[in-house]
Structure formats: C-alpha cells, structure tokens
Amino acid sequence: MLNLLPRNVRNCEGVSRRSFLQIGALAGLGVSLPLALQQRSAAAASGKAANDTNCILIWTRGGTSHHDTFDPKPLAPVSVRGEFNAISTATPGVHFTEITPNMAKEQKRFALLRGWNPQNGSHGMADQWVMSGRKFNQAVRYPTYGAVVSHYKGFKNAMPPFVQLGTQVDRRFGGGSAGILGQEHNPFEMDTDPNAAQFTVRDITPPKGVGMDRVERRQRILSRVDSLQQTANVQPAAFSALDEHYHAAFDMITDPMTKKAFAMEDESDQLRDAYGRHRFGQSCLLARRLVESGVRFVTVTDGGWDTHANNFKSLKETRIPPIDQALPQLLIDLENRGLLDTTLVVWLTDFGRTPKINSASGRDHWATSGFAVMAGAGVPGGAVLGATDADGGTVIENEYNSCDIATTIYMKLGIPPHLIAHSPDGRPIQLIEGKPIAEWM
C-alpha cells in the first residue's frame, strides 16, 4: 500500500502533530489515495486519453493449464491428454475441454491465442514479465499495464484510475506494481470479498464507530494545525499542494459516485446469480461497476492455479467453474450495457503447464506454450490464433510473446507503442517493445 504520511517535523516520539492527525483522519479510515491524487491536475491539463478505452485484466496466479482448458490434445497418449474429453465450441472445428462448457458455448464473444510462448517458467518473474510485457531486469522495475494507464491517462473523476481486486499477485520482482513510474501509480488494492454478506471497502467505508461527522471534525482539526505549521515551514507551496491532494482524498470517500460504484446490493439477484455467488464472479461484476464509474483499469486476481498435484480434480471442482461462469457473463453484461466496444477484457496467467502428467496427477511449469484470451475493444470474437504441436509443448504456428500481448493491449487502449518513461535517476526507459497481434487489431 502507499505510504501517505509526509516526512515532516517530528516530536521526541517520532511523530509530528500533523502526521498524528493525518493518521487519525485518513489512515484511520484506511484511505490510501492522497499521494496518487497528485497526478490528477497534470493529467487533466495534458490533453491525453483521446482513446477512452478501459481494460479489465483477469490474472490467474500460478499457471493455468492450456492442455486442460483451451488446447486439448484428444489424439495424444493419456499421459498427455489427461482426464478430460474435448467438446465442440461455437466456432466450427475448435474444441475445448469438457470442463469449460460456457466458454465453449460463448466462444464467438472472445478471441483465443494458442500461440503464446511465455519464454519463462518461474513464478514471481512471470507476474512481472507477463503483466508488463518486459522481461525481468534487476536494474529496472518495469511497470504493470494498469500503472502505465494511470501514468499516461490519469483520472477521469474521483475514482482512482487503477484498481486491483484481490491480492493474488506475486510482488517479489515488482509484479503488478508501478515500478519506475512511482508509487502514486500503484493500484488501489482491495482484498475484501465482494461476495461477502457485509461487503465493505477498507479505503472507502469508514470503520465501525466512525461516522462522517467525525471524519469532518478530523478534517477541520487537520486544517487548523496545518495553518499554524505552514506559517513557519520553509516550503509552504509544497504543503499547499499536498493538502490539495488530501482534500481530494476526502472528496473521494464522500463522493456519491464512489459509494455507488461499490454498492453491490444495487444489482439484481438475477444478475448476481448469473455471475456466480462466489468471490471471482462477484469480483467480475464489481470490475464492470468500477469501469462504469470511471476506473480505467481493473485487475481481477485469482490464486490456486499452480497444479503440481491433483491438477484434474482442482481444475474441475474449484478453479475452472467460477471462471467458466463469470467470464462469459462479464462479456454478455458489458455488451448489453454498450460497454464492450470501449472495454478490453484480457485473461492472462503465468505460463503453460507440462504436456506430460507427473506422478502426482499434476502438471508442472512449462515455459514454451500457453494461452491468452482477449475480448472487446474491436478484438474479433470467435478468432482462434496459433497452434501447438501434437503434445502441446511447442508453438508451431503464429507464435506471439508477452511483449506482443502488451503492445496489443496498449494500442487497444490508445497508448503510443513507443511510449518512453523515465527512471528515478532520469534515464529514458522504453516501456513497449513488441509487435501488435495484427489479426486482432
């Protein structure tokens, strides 16, 4: 999370009066946005974001098996084929496995890349590489997609431009984070389960016993202390700017649009049931609500996909059913609301899994083949691009790498393919280096 408290004059206990009141007024509410709000005025004045396409990224942490979902090998030996039968999809001649019936039925709504070569089979590094499109580099923390969108496009309104639902991202190598762009572009991270009966958002909903009248009193006290402290401060302009962003954070938590975005109870029971009454389903529904409310990029995270053991049981019983229900419904819902043309939906994972099943009825990491799913924003529904060899181990047709997926995402979102950012020491860093997936542009 962001460190919001400015380093300022401290008392002998190590806490300034200003910081103490900010802890009470903001950290007590869980607010983590004032620093991020520093970009708003600059973004508004820049004239950027002519293309207002948004993105919902689904990240299945651990490495989802391509063999057992969207690239079955029914003619391969059972040691490769596995336990699942192949079924027809809405696209003639294209087959998925039997555990993805809804994705098969709705295949005309999305495009499938069977030609993805991850070039990596390591956790952590995958989160950084696949979610940025740039190979891991110890010297440079490349930013994730949502952070680049936040940096380049900024705010639409009071809502943060980049939100992450769930915490299933491996941060060891900077995966899913803003990296060189700075912490103000990190995601607004929410770990609360939107399927919970008493759904509240830590950074939006005041904790029990803290009403908005109390928040306002703390804000008034903070303002009075600031007015005294700033008089003697050597950088009054800097304090004034910071205060503007704290006020903007208060505006966000009191803005009716913010509360409305998270008001899951406003949705009909019928629609909530269609998404699925589970965390993943309600997270996809919340992602749609956030995009409607002004969030530019939402990452929905889901863990438990590292299936070294009991691969088939895990996929069939717990991992695939929520996605097979919720993802097609998300596409249907976006289309019904007229949002699919301006919302790119992407499903990515760490890497593929081994063609050969191991002794624990699992599949291990595989670095040379896998899958990616993309829909909306002009991506041709029903397209299936690329092919792997007889055992699914190597791409033999239309091979694309993670940098190419990244370039496609950025171009769909209206971000220049030769975007340059600067590291903290001022060095220019190219953020995009791949080629677009031409068939989907």
For every one of its 441 residues, what pLDDT tens digit does the chain have, with 9 covering 90 and above? 333 233 333 333 343 333 333 333 343 333 344 444 554 454 444 544 457 999 999 999 999 999 999 999 999 999 999 999 999 999 999 999 999 999 999 999 999 999 999 999 999 999 999 999 999 998 899 999 999 999 999 999 989 999 999 999 999 999 999 999 998 899 999 999 999 988 877 656 555 555 556 555 655 555 555 555 555 455 555 545 445 555 556 666 667 778 889 999 999 999 999 999 999 999 999 999 999 999 999 999 999 999 999 999 999 999 999 999 999 999 999 999 999 999 999 999 999 999 999 999 999 999 999 999 999 999 999 999 999 999 999 999 999 999 999 999 999 999 988 889 888 888 899 998 999 999 999
CA–CA dist 262, 163 (Å, integer): 12
Nearby residues of 122 by Cβ (< 8 Å), 6 or more positions away: 365
- Whole-prediction pTM value? 0.84
Phi/psi at 55 (5° precision): -145, 140
Q: Coil, strand, or helix at residue 247?
A: helix
Could you tell me the CA-to-CA distances from 345 to 49, 192, 335 in Å, in that order?
A: 19, 22, 12
Q: Coil, strand, or helix at residue 327?
A: helix
CA–CA dist 41, 46 (Å, integer): 9
Q: Coil, strand, or helix at residue 157?
A: coil
CA–CA dist 231, 318 (Å, integer): 60
Residues of the chain with CATH 3.40.720.10: 53-202+262-440
Name the CATH superfamily for 53-202+262-440. Answer: Alkaline Phosphatase, subunit A (3.40.720.10)
- Burial of 86-115, coded b for 16+ CB within 10 Å and e otherwise, reads bbebebeebbbbebbbbbbbbbebbbbbbb
Instruction: Work out the widest C-alpha separation in the chain, in whole angstroms.
Output: 78
